[in-house]
Amino acid sequence: MYMLRIQVKGLLVAVIMVVLAVCVFRSVTDKPRLNASTIQMIEFSTVISMPKEKQVTEKADISKIVDAINAAATSPPFVDASSGLQMQIKVTKTNGSSSNIIFTENCIIVDSQRYKVDKHTLQELQDLYKSIKCVECRKIDYVYEEQAYTVPGSHQ
């Protein structure tokens, strides 16, 4: 009887340790997955040269941005000194919570978790930023100056 109790306790401890290990491993390797249907607004900012921002509320545009972010963060999290902040995205969800996403030359940082990105990702995001048709604001010491959006190549 005593041996049976020790075996049961040992088995219980082993099961608990496996469950904890799976939980920890999963939280470290999970990639960020945003859901466009839960997002109210995205503040999409460029920080190259003269910083600009677009506040995106159209669901179709939000879906494009979310797809790009989800596709960009494909590697496991890593620790590295990233260089050169290039773009910043603040996602405001319908429940009021928010996520900050930063793109550098070599990684995407989602809520302080870093993921490697390939060299084309940043260019794709810059092209996506240019394609979104909404009011663009120029950031000057946290004061926004509105500029009407013009389609590249048009003479308006």
Structure tokens at 96: 């009021």
Same domain, 75 and 142: yes
Same domain, 52 and 119: yes
6 lies in which domain range? 1-30
Same domain, 118 and 44: yes
pLDDT of residue 10: 73
Comparing 50 with 58, the larger pLDDT belongs to 58
What letter represents residue 97's amino acid?
S
156 lies in some domain: no
Whether pLDDT at 137 is above 70: yes
Whether pLDDT at 102 is above 80: yes
d(CA 46, CA 132): 13
94 lies in some domain: yes
Same domain, 79 and 19: no
Please give the backbone phi and psi of residue 88, each rounded to the nearest 5 degrees, phi first: -135, 140
97 lies in some domain: yes
Whether pLDDT at 142 is above 90: no
- As for how many domains the chain has, the answer is 2
Same domain, 1 and 71: no
**102 burial level (CB within 10 Å; 0-12, 13-18, 19+):** buried
d(CA 21, CA 23): 5
Same domain, 97 and 116: yes
List the one residue out of 155, 147, 135 whose CA is nearest residue 55.
135
Same domain, 17 and 59: no
Q: Determine if residue 141 is left, alpha or beta; phi over 0 gives left, psi from -120 to 50 gives alpha, anything else beta.
A: left
pLDDT of residue 131: 92
What's the whole-model pTM score? 0.63
Same domain, 132 and 83: yes
